[in-house]
Amino acid sequence: DGGITQSPKYLFRKEGQNVTLSCEQNLNHDAMYWYRQDPGQGLRLIYYSQIVNDFQKGDIAEGYSVSREKKESFPLTVTSAQKNPTAFYLCASSIGGSAYGYTFGSGTRLTVV
Amino acid sequence: EDKVVQSPLSLVVHEGDTVTLNCSYEVTNFRSLLWYKQEKKAPTFLFMLTSSGIEKKSGRLSSILDKKELFSILNITATQTGDSAIYLCAVHDRGSTLGRLYFGRGTQLTVWP
């Protein structure tokens, strides 16, 4: 079955450490996105990529980095520069940037300990 | 400033009640409005609305869009405990990056037995 796989489901990080969240899709979608969700907040866009080797900052990119070396993969690194990283992170993809067929992964819950 | 505003942010009802969730938006070049249901993980797609006045219906859920007044409503009739979730509204702005959705903060619906 096609879909988006995010791993791990739960992640604990010590302050000052970088961590990388995985996002893999087998839907052959061109565009991929990373969102952050905090309690009482909607989804806020961190980074997005429309094609391989290209990505753009979203609304809250500070303290995060991404890469898009393969069409299927869009990993997100939460760096030590992100002051408040505890949140639920969602990856999504879409066909050529269309809102129709927008597909979400099951998310990674990151907690700083 | 939020481009998508949902109300109420929280709603508690008893089984069998009917609820109406609201979503207003302000984008430059509207393309579509989407409703999602999020229980604990990935948001699941409910409806995509592009035309005013045409009701979309799926079982006990229905939604309609008013492009003149820039809002949409999501109705749930005969609510059940399984309807308890966060309901997210998102708008696809034609003028934004292709596929980029603007999300509201969501309405947390709790249905008591």
Percentage of residues in chain B having pLDDT higher than 90: 73
CA distances from B90 to B12, B23, B62 (A): 22, 9, 16
pLDDT bucket at B96, cuts 50 / 70 / 90: low
- Give CA–CA dist B109/B10, Å, rounded: 6
The pLDDT tens digits of the residues spanning A72-99 come to 999 999 998 888 999 999 999 988 767 7
Contacts of A35 in chain B (CB under 8 A): 103
Distance from CA of A14 to the nearest CA of B (A): 24
Among candidate residues B113, B105, B112, the one with its CA nearest the CA of residue B38: B105
Work out the mean pLDDT of chain A and round it to a whole number. 91
Searching chain B, which residue's CA lies closest to the CA of residue A46?
Answer: B100
Q: What is the structure's pLDDT at B30?
A: 85
Distance from CA of A16 to the nearest CA of B (A): 27
* A52–B contact, CB cutoff 8 A: no
* A107–B contact, CB cutoff 8 A: yes
- Give CA–CA dist A35/B77, Å, rounded: 31
Q: What is the structure's pLDDT at B99?
A: 65
- pLDDT at residue A68 tops 70: yes
- Give CA–CA dist B49/A82, Å, rounded: 36
Contacts of B97 in chain A (CB under 8 A): 48, 50, 56, 97
| Tokens linked to B6 | 């949902």
Which whole number is the average pLDDT over B85-93? 93
Which whole number is the average pLDDT over A53-57? 94
- Give CA–CA dist B64/B56, Å, rounded: 6
pLDDT bucket at B105, cuts 50 / 70 / 90: very high
Which whole number is the average pLDDT over B62-86? 96
- Give CA–CA dist B55/A11, Å, rounded: 41
- Strand partners of residue A106: none
